[in-house]
Every structure is written in structure tokens, then in C-alpha cells.
């Protein structure tokens, strides 16, 4: 059996994760986390928070809705760009990813081809439906966002977010204010994200519903190479597969992030810094260094908002190098668009050393048109207009063609604008954005696959101690002679002290150990007949299967030190048979 199948079989049987809705035949692209999977996922999310929020200065977390009104995605460009080409069979009505189908049927590399170029291939090669041999229709763009209606009005269209990022952008102004207007500002979010994939893959690699972990690092573009954390990580070496190496068919280079910036392989120091942080994070999940690499997205792969995107890939059995994170330099794309579409000024002011000459806009109500058009309201309208921000008024007029003042609609014929130059001691700018973005589900699977080992025909899930869903399993050797009462006391004490602990009472001790190894429980505590004599228990190591004895009275303190990684297993208690 392939490693992938073994990991998925274990995941299902032991309660990590499995495909959802099985009793109704399943719906691909959706997974369920069982009792151990949920804790593993939360542990990974919290470790991510540690690296990407808590250890960063002025980084915070927010939570925004999954369903958002269409205005957000018009501005973000997702309505226009977040699409895949599809093609339908005119006979059986089955739909395919057009690019995948053409590649499959013709072997032609369609990367970067336009819709009309794909249509030409379909006609030229006279491609048919592989299922029923029927004729194929035209290649079309299919938007990958789940669409719905908000409220009882048919017109109020909303979409499930395909990324968490837009929630951060639309809230930028308020968060910036709450955080006392300091840049760089990191706004993070962990939450559900949905993409209506046409052909979800097996397992967790391309899900329709998944958990994203994203930080939008919002900064002054003039400070994009002023990254305080860079110094500490500058000698971190990464395996980097640039776009140009891919185009030449060459393997990745090993290079420090400092060199990569110097050689202009990476756009800037903030982007480079996060590659190093990401590598460090992924290593703590138990992924070996040689199974981690960074791949630059090719020009035609990049999202519409990105200047440079570097994926972090890990090597997975059967799937090869698989993207588990992206690091995108989104520039000012998103904030510019939201400023334009909402008419709200989200620019940031900064003082400049030397005075600057800037262009200013003045708004002039056109009394010649306002008077006749609005009669008795004219005075009030002019009064209000004079209090408004000229830039916002102009943006609104440009974007929606009118502006509402005192309950009346004014168009460009009612307002004139004049530009003049002014000397100021600061300037307003649209911040830029660097975005590290992770898929939590892929990380869960990666951690499981990289922890999966076999020994003497049995499975051991060697999860890093920090990730293990259950830290300690407590056992009575047998279910009689007062042993379960003692083990229950130990279980209750460890539970009370905040350990993630289970009490496993029934069945042969060998089978119970085997189950704990499969769940990845680092330590087992066994109450046996010697316990009745000297109040000691054995502690069993998942990875080596070796055992040590320790007094019950010392147990909680020593386990705490073990899980804080202050001592190793060999420093727990005493060798077996050496206590008297």
C-alpha cells in the first residue's frame, strides 16, 4: 500500500480526518476532523500564531465574515479573475477543467494559453467528450467562488470568501486606528475559506472548504527593505527554484536569504524574511530540511494582484512537491482598489524630513447648475459640499457617476475641481502588502505523513511532542486488584493540571500501547503491581518503546518539564528495576 493510503487509512480509523458525508455517498472536496484531528489542527494553528503573530511586533489577529457582499469581490478583482476554464459535453453535459482535458487528450502544454487559443485547439484536434464521445462546447470561464443571496431580495448577491485577505483589507482603516496608526502592521486571520473547485483532488490537497492562515503585513513601500527581523535570519539557507531556473529546466539553488535579495531573486527583505520564518515553522512540524523548498510562481501562474509569489513546497509521497504556503508581494493592488471602489480614503500620512510640494484638489460647487437643478435645496447643498473631502467626492463621482448630498443626486456637471500645488511637511501614501498564506489542512496532512513510521510491523505516529493531540496515556496494567483506581487518580490529577491526557483501562496492555502509538501519544504511564508496593509507575516512550520508573509524587512536575522540552525521556525518573 502506498504511504498516502496508509496515512489516510490510519487517519480514518484513529479519528484524525476523513472525507465528509460518507453516509450520503460523499461530496468531494470536504473533510471532517475527528477527535484527534481537531486537536492536532488546533496545535498547528497555535504554533502558527506563535511564529506569525506573537513573535512579530505590532501583529494582531482579527475575525471577519466568510460571506461577503459582491462589492468586495468586484473591487478585489475576484469576480473578474478568480476563474478556471471549463468545457462541457453538449451530449452528456459533463463538465471538465478545459486546460486539464486538453492536456490529457493531446499532450499539448496549455500553460498560459488564452481561452480562444484553447478553443482553437479543441476545434483543430476535433476533441470529444472522453466519457460519451459527444461533441464539446466552447471553453468558458467558471468563477470559483460559491455564490449565494443575502436576505430575501434576489438582487443582494454574496460570495463565500476564497481567501481571508479581503476581510483584512476592507477593515484596514479601523484596525490601523485601533492599533494607534503604526506601520508595519500585521493583520492575521485564521478561518474557513471556500473555493468551488471543478475537480477537487483526493485527500486534502485541493479542498472546496479549508482553513486558511494568513497575515497581511501592511507597510510603507519606501520601507520595504527595512525589516527588523531580517538581520537574525539573513544567513538562513533556502532551496530556491526561481522562475528563470524553471524556464531553463534547472534544479533549485541553495542560497541564503541575504544573497537572494542581493542577487534580486527575491523582490525585497520583508518577503525574504518570511521565507526564513516559514522554513523554521515548517521544520517544527517535523518536516525534514531536504523535504522543504521554495518555488517562485511563473508569470502566468501568479494571481492578478501579485508582483512576486514564492510558494513553500514540501515533498509528499505520491504527490511530489506540494504547495503548502504562498508568500505574495501584493503591492498596493488591494488597498488601491478598495479606495477606488468604496470612495473611502485609506491612505496613510507620514511626515517627511524636507518639506514637499504636493498637488491639492479643491472642490468648487457649480452654482450655475446647482441653482436651477435643485431650487430651494441649492443653498443647503452648497453648504454641505464645502464641508466634504474633495478627493472622496471626486472618487465617488468617478466610480458611481453621482454623489448624494442632502438627499439629492449630484453629477459631475454640478461640481468643478481645481488642482493647485502646496508645500507640506508630510505626504499620504497607499501602503503595500506582503502576505504569507498557509493552508492549515495541508499542514495537518503533512505532519501526519512525515510522522508516519513502521516498526516491527506496527505503526508509530512520531508527531513532534508539541503537536501530539494526547500527551499522556494512563493505564492500569490489568483491570483489577485496585490498579484502575490508582491509575484513575493519576489521570484525574494530570487532567486537573492541564495535560492533554486519556485513561485507557480495558484490553491487553500490548494492544493499548499499540493504539497509543498509532495516535502518536509521546508518553504512557502504567500502574502495575510494583506500584502497590513502592508508589512508582513506569513511563513508556512512544518512539523507543523503552521504559523508566518514577514516583507518582514526582510525575506531574517531571512530565511538565518533558513537554516544555527542558528534559529528554532519559532524564525522566530512573531506569526500570533500579528503584528500591
Binder of its own copies out of 342, 437, 538, 547 (CB under 8 A)? 342
Shortest approach of its own copies to residue 409 CB, angstroms?
16
Shortest approach of its own copies to residue 25 CB, angstroms?
8
**C-alpha cell at position 546:** 523503552
In whole angstroms, give the CA distance from residue 113 to residue 299: 12
Stretch that binds its own copies, among 117-125, 152-160, 395-403, 451-459 (CB under 8 A): 152-160
Where in 419-478 is the site for its own copies (CB under 8 A)? none
In whole angstroms, give the CA distance from residue 313 to residue 330: 20
In whole angstroms, give the CA distance from residue 208 to residue 28: 8
User: What is the three-state SS of 253-295?
Assistant: EEEEHHHHHHCCCCCCHHHHHHHHHHHHHHHHCCCCHHHEEEE
Binder of its own copies out of 83, 106, 146, 283 (CB under 8 A)? 146
Shortest approach of its own copies to residue 144 CB, angstroms?
10
Where in 204-243 is the site for its own copies (CB under 8 A)? 208-209
Beta strands in 164-243 (DSSP E): 185-194, 209-219, 237-241
Where in 32-61 is the site for its own copies (CB under 8 A)? 32-35, 37-39, 41, 54, 60-61
- Residue 569 per-residue DSSP state: G
> For its own copies, which is the closer residue by CB, 18 or 321?
18
> For its own copies, which is the closer residue by CB, 291 or 338?
338
**C-alpha cell at position 487:** 491509575
Residues facing residue 191 across a β-bridge: 212
Where in 63-92 is the site for its own copies (CB under 8 A)? 63-69, 71-72, 86, 88
**C-alpha cell at position 48:** 502558527
Binder of its own copies out of 47, 157, 179, 556 (CB under 8 A)? 179
Shortest approach of its own copies to residue 85 CB, angstroms?
11
Site size toward its own copies, by CB under 8 A = 73
45: left (phi over 0), alpha (psi -120 to 50) or beta: alpha
In whole angstroms, give the CA distance from residue 503 to residue 519: 14
What is the strand order of the sheet 523-527 is part of?
501-503, 472-476, 523-527, 536-541, 547-551, 574-575
In whole angstroms, give the CA distance from residue 146 to residue 556: 49
> For its own copies, which is the closer residue by CB, 53 or 253?
53
> For its own copies, which is the closer residue by CB, 21 or 574?
21
- Helical axes 269-284 vs 35-49, angle rounded to 10°: 140
Shortest approach of its own copies to residue 358 CB, angstroms?
24
Binder of its own copies out of 141, 253, 344, 424 (CB under 8 A)? 344
Binder of its own copies out of 151, 249, 299, 510 (CB under 8 A)? 151
Shortest approach of its own copies to residue 449 CB, angstroms?
20
Shortest approach of its own copies to residue 336 CB, angstroms?
13
By three-state DSSP, how is residue 91 classified?
coil
Could you give the string, one character per residue 96-135, with x where binding to its own copies holds by CB under 8 A and - elsewhere?
A: ----------------------------------------
- Residue 485: count other Cβ atoms within 10 Å of its Cβ: 10
Shortest approach of its own copies to residue 366 CB, angstroms?
27
The gap between the terminal CA atoms of the chain, to the nearest Å, is 48
In whole angstroms, give the CA distance from residue 211 to residue 442: 9
Binder of its own copies out of 81, 133, 147, 409 (CB under 8 A)? 147
Which CA distances in Å does 298 have to 238, 244, 246? 19, 8, 8
> For its own copies, which is the closer residue by CB, 194 or 243?
194
**C-alpha cell at position 285:** 512540524
Nearest CA to 462 out of 539, 517, 524, 514 is that of: 517
CB–CB of 300/111 below 8 Å?
Answer: yes
Stretch that binds its own copies, among 150-158, 212-220, 227-235, 354-362 (CB under 8 A): 150-158
> For its own copies, which is the closer residue by CB, 20 or 366?
20
Where in 479-538 is the site for its own copies (CB under 8 A)? 495
Shortest approach of its own copies to residue 443 CB, angstroms?
14
Shortest approach of its own copies to residue 86 CB, angstroms?
6
Is 161 an interacting residue with respect to its own copies (CB under 8 A)? no
Residue matched to cell numbers 487528450: 105
Q: Which uninterrupted H or E stretch holds 322?
A: strand 320-331
> For its own copies, which is the closer residue by CB, 196 or 487?
196
In whole angstroms, give the CA distance from residue 579 to residue 72: 68
> For its own copies, which is the closer residue by CB, 24 or 420?
24
Shortest approach of its own copies to residue 214 CB, angstroms?
14
> For its own copies, which is the closer residue by CB, 93 or 454?
93
Cα angle: 77, vertex 79, 85; to 5 degrees:
110
> For its own copies, which is the closer residue by CB, 10 or 122?
10
> For its own copies, which is the closer residue by CB, 161 or 293?
161
Amino acid at each position: 500500500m502506498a504511504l498516502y493510503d496508509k496515512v489516510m487509512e490510519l487517519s480514518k480509523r484513529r479519528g484524525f480526518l476523513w472525507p465528509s458525508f460518507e453516509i450520503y455517498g460523499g461530496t468531494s472536496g470536504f473533510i471532517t476532523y475527528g477527535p484527534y484531528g481537531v486537536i492536532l489542527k488546533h496545535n498547528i494553528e497555535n504554533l502558527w500564531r506563535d511564529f506569525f503573530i506573537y513573535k512579530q511586533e505590532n501583529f494582531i489577529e482579527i475575525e471577519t465574515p466568510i460571506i461577503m457582499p459582491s462589492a468586495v469581490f468586484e473591487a478585489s478583482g475576484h469576480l473578474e479573475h478568480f476563474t478556471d476554464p471549463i468545457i462541457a459535453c453538449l451530449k452528456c453535459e459533463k463538465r471538465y477543467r478545459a486546460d486539464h482535458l486538453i492536456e490529457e487528450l493531446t499532450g499539448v502544454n496549455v500553460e498560459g494559453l488564452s481561452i480562444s487559443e484553447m478553443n482553437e485547439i479543441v476545434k483543430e484536434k476535433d476533441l470529444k467528450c472522453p466519457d460519451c464521445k459527444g461533441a464539446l462546447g466552447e471553453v468558458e470561464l467558471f468563477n470559483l467562488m460559491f455564490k449565494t443571496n443575502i436576505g430575501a431580495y434576489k438582487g443582494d448577491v454574496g460570495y463565500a470568501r476564497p481567501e481571508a485577505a479581503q476581510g483584512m483589507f476592507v477593515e484596514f482603516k479601523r484596525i490601523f486606528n485601533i492599533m494607534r496608526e503604526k506601520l508595519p502592521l500585521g493583520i492575521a486571520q485564521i478561518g474557513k475559506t471556500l473555493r468551488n473547485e471543478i475537480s477537487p483532488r483526493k485527500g486534502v490537497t485541493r479542498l472546496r472548504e479549508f482553513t486558511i492562515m494568513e497575515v497581511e503585513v501592511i507597510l510603507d513601500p519606501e520601507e520595504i527593505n527595512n525589516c527588523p527581523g531580517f538581520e537574525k535570519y539573513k544567513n538562513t539557507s533556502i532551496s530556491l527554484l526561481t522562475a528563470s531556473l524553471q524556464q531553463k529546466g534547472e534544479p533549485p539553488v541553495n542560497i541564503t536569504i541575504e544573497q537572494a535579495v542581493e542577487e534580486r531573486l527575491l523582490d525585497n527583505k520583508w518577503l525574504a524574511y518570511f521565507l526564513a520564518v516559514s522554513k523554521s515553522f515548517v521544520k517544527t512540524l517535523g518536516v525534514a530540511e531536504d523535504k522543504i523548498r521554495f518555488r517562485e510562481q511563473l508569470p502566468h501562474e501568479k494571481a492578478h494582484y501579485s508582483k512576486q509569489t514564492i510558494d513553500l513546497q514540501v515533498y509528499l509521497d505520491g504527490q511530489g512537491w506540494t504547495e503548502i504556503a504562498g508568500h505574495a508581494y501584493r503591492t498596493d493592488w488591494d488597498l488601491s482598489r478598495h479606495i477606488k471602489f468604496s470612495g473611502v480614503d485609506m491612505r496613510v500620512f507620514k511626515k517627511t524630513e524636507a518639506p514637499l510640494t504636493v498637488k491639492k484638489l479643491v472642490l468648487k460647487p457649480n452654482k450655475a447648475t446647482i441653482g436651477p437643478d435643485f431650487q430651494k435645496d441649492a443653498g443647503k447643498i452648497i453648504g454641505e459640499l464645502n464641508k466634504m473631502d474633495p478627493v472622496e467626492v471626486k472618487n465617488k463621482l468617478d466610480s458611481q457617476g453621482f454623489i448624494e448630498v442632502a438627499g439629492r443626486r449630484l453629477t459631475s456637471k454640478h461640481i468643478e475641481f481645481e488642482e493647485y500645488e502646496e508645500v507640506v511637511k508630510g505626504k499620504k501614501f497607499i501602503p503595500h502588502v506582503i502576505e504569507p498564506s498557509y493552508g492549515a489542512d495541508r499542514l495537518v496532512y503533512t505532519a501526519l505523513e512525515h510522522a508516519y513510521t513502521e516498526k516491527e510491523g506496527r505503526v508509530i505516529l512520531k508527531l513532534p511532542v508539541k503537536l501530539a493531540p494526547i500527551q499522556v496515556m494512563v493505564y492500569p496494567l490489568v483491570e483489577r486488584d485496585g490498579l484502575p483506581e490508582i491509575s484513575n487518580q493519576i489521570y484525574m490529577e494530570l487532567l486537573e493540571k492541564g495535560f492533554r491526557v486519556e485513561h485507557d483501562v480495558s484490553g491487553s496492555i500490548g494492544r493499548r500501547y499499540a493504539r497509543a502509538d498509532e495516535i502518536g501519544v509521546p508518553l504512557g504511564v502504567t500502574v502495575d503491581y510494583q506500584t502497590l508496593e513502592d508508589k512508582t509507575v513506569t513511563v513508556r516512550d512512544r518512539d523507543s518503546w523503552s521504559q523508566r520508573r518514577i514516583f507518582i509524587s514526582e510525575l506531574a512536575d517531571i512530565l511538565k518539564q518533558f513537554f516544555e522540552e527542558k528534559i529528554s525521556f532519559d532524564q525522566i525518573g530512573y531506569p526500570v528495576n533500579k528503584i528500591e
